[in-house]
Amino acid sequence: MKRGLVFAGGGSKGSYEAGFVKALREQNLTFDIVTGTSVGALNGCLFAQEDYEKIEQLWMTVSASDIFADIPPSVKNFNYEILVNDTNLVVDFFKNYLKEKGADIAPFRKLVKSYLDVDKLMASPIDFGLCTVRYPSLKPLFITKEQMPKNQVSDYLIASASCFPVFPICHFNGESFIDGGYYDNVPVDLALEMGATELIIIDLNTKPTHRYYADRPKMIYSISYSDLGTFMDFSRQRLNRNYILGYLTAKKVFEEYLGKKYTFETIPVQLMNNFYYIELDCERMMRRALGNNQTSPLYERYLEANHGISLKITDYYCFTLDWLGDILLWDETHVYQFEEVVSIIEQNFTLALSKNYSLLLELKELKNLSKKNLINYLINVSHTKKQNELSTQYLLTLFPKEFMIAQLVYTILKTKPLQ
């Protein structure tokens, strides 16, 4: 059995992978094979060197001036918006951009060479491979460390990350290369070709790049349910945020925490089970309302949220919490205790239980309600027993997500002793 680890490409989003690695190391897992594309190749190389502290150091200190020339030292939080809004900066930047047929990445070349330790990489028991793309044929090149001349390892790392046209085309050995992401940004196939029999995959997208690998035995396919920003946002705030999100995602992958977009330390199991059966009941009523027993639109909502991947009982609860968290503007980098969730719900929705709504407001009135007030209304209907199957079908069909949030909130309010 050989365990593999796959790092995706994504520029500055590589800080997310660094956070993921921190949580991964806490699991005390060992790996035989590591593959990566673009920035994932650099992170993967450092992992294969067993220089885990270097991964941390890189993403805690890197800035745009370590990637591009002509970024003034005073610009600590570089992103596209700063470039566009600073006339002097954009002029200097694009003078070199045109000269180099891409940005001047001399600092990046220096950075790669400073972190690369070829002797440690070659002596490591962890095999390493990366993906780059030949230019202009656009044919992929998958190459392992054993196939790389020692004096050209840094060239292959830079080739894999040469995201043309932002980065210049990488030339060496009489060949030209661009970013491996143009062919395979998440090189799972390479890891399998190298002999991996089980995999942990770190995808930097909010939906699986390779959907066909996302629900397979012996594969843990991890994505971020949070937006990680653009691949050229080197602001310290974004890098630190993505690092935390990567760490929290890995903790959820290994079931130390719960949640999808938001993170929870504990959720009573019985509460999740109860909610699952409420969801099943709502599915039945929704099908009856639509007069079609061959489809299940509510189930499809949850399946879509999970990108078509098979759902677990916990997923129904956690995705509904995500919908609620989006409305209440929860913090994606915070770990919520269950008692904290209960407190937030009580602050926002308890008054709904005492209001006297009519059984069915006019559709125009319902649509004019804010999301929060609509949920308040739906909670009130549930609490006061005004709800019957006909009204449930009507409301569930019109407002499926808000209706399920209301059911979750009402369930928590009714079962508070479960904590």
What pLDDT sits at residue 158? 98
Q: Is the pLDDT of residue 111 over 70?
A: yes
Cβ neighbours of residue 366 under 8 Å, at least 6 residues apart?
A: 374, 377, 398, 399
Q: What is the mean pLDDT of the chain?
A: 88
Q: Answer whether residue 91 shows pLDDT above 90.
A: no
Sign for the CA dihedral angle at 8, 178, 160, 218 comes to positive
Q: What does the pLDDT look like over 241-271, one tens digit per residue? A: 999 999 999 999 999 999 999 999 999 999 9
Report DSSP letters for 273-312, one per residue.
Answer: HHHHHHHHHHHHHHHHHHT-TT--HHHHHHHHHTTTPPPP
Q: Where are the beta strands (DSSP E) in 21-69?
A: 33-37
pLDDT greater at residue 194 or residue 390: 194
Handedness of CA 267, 268, 271, 277 (dihedral sign): positive
Joined tokens for residue 44? 């993967």
| pLDDT the model gives residue 323 | 98
How far is residue 115 from each of residues 10, 50, 157, measured CA to CA in Å?
Answer: 19, 12, 11
- The residue written with tokens 């019957």 in the block is 388
Confidence band for 387, pLDDT divided at 50, 70 and 90: low
Distance separating alpha carbons of residues 112 and 403, to the nearest angstrom? 51
Q: What is the DSSP letter of 169?
A: P
Cα–Cα distance, 358 to 410 (Å, whole number): 18
What pLDDT, on a 0 to 100 scale, did the predictor assign at position 362?
Answer: 67
